Amino acid sequence: MGRMLVLTAAVAALLAVTTDAGAGGEHPWHTDIVTTTFWVGELFDPAAEDGSQVISTYDDDWLGSYGGCDGVVDADGRCGTEPRTSDNDYFPTAMTPLQNPFYLDLPFDDVNDDLAFLLRGLVVPWARELPYAALVHDPRMSLMKNRWVHVRHGDRECFGQIEDAGPGEYHDVAYVFGTDDARPANARYNGAGMDVSPAMNGCLGLSELDGESDRVDWRFVDADDVPDGPWKKVITDTPVR
């Protein structure tokens, strides 16, 4: 009974600071958000539960599904990143991705985090739209995976798909679905509120290949509103695996 009261209080507190903005209309911008870079195959902290990008929260074999290391494998077998340029549409130079190289994460894991799963039907703006409305109570399905996000940095604008959750937090409702002034709950990585792929790093013209100082603005965007660009060369449509 005590655990249920704590959970109910947590839900009430989270819902009190969220907004329904975006349901059936334009989604709000989240501005001045610290952004770091991650990539499929990266292993940055073997001791951390969330320290490997060989898997994602939505894919137990992300590395295999993607087609291999999204970068360059060194002589010791480590998967490293590389600068991306418009010369080849920001794609990796050493492999051919089977999924969209324009990917990112946000701190709301609606499959593996119990609280996020409990809340998703209430806070995800498109949860009441088909086909998502039929999936809300199915723990095998995600309302977040493959959704499009519009990201801008200075005068550059790029689009990517959600393929993981993080950084650092996994049910940050107030930030992910809140108003434009909501700040990420995450305190790690300089308070980052998003990780972007190397392709998005290059497309956005971030100042660091793998840093913690760049800031971006972002908003959810519906698939029909995504313009043509290199992010549409390969579109990820696989479900949770």
Q: Tokens at residue 27, please? A: 């989604």
Q: What is the pLDDT of residues 40-90, one digit of tens each?
A: 999 765 555 555 788 999 999 999 999 999 999 998 889 999 999 999 999
Q: What is the pLDDT of residues 219-229, one digit of tens each?
A: 999 999 999 99
For 3, the 3-state DSSP assignment is helix
d(CA 29, CA 179): 8
- Domain spans of the chain? 2-232
pTM comes to: 0.90
Tell which residue, 215, 240, 195, 204, has the closest CA to residue 60: 240
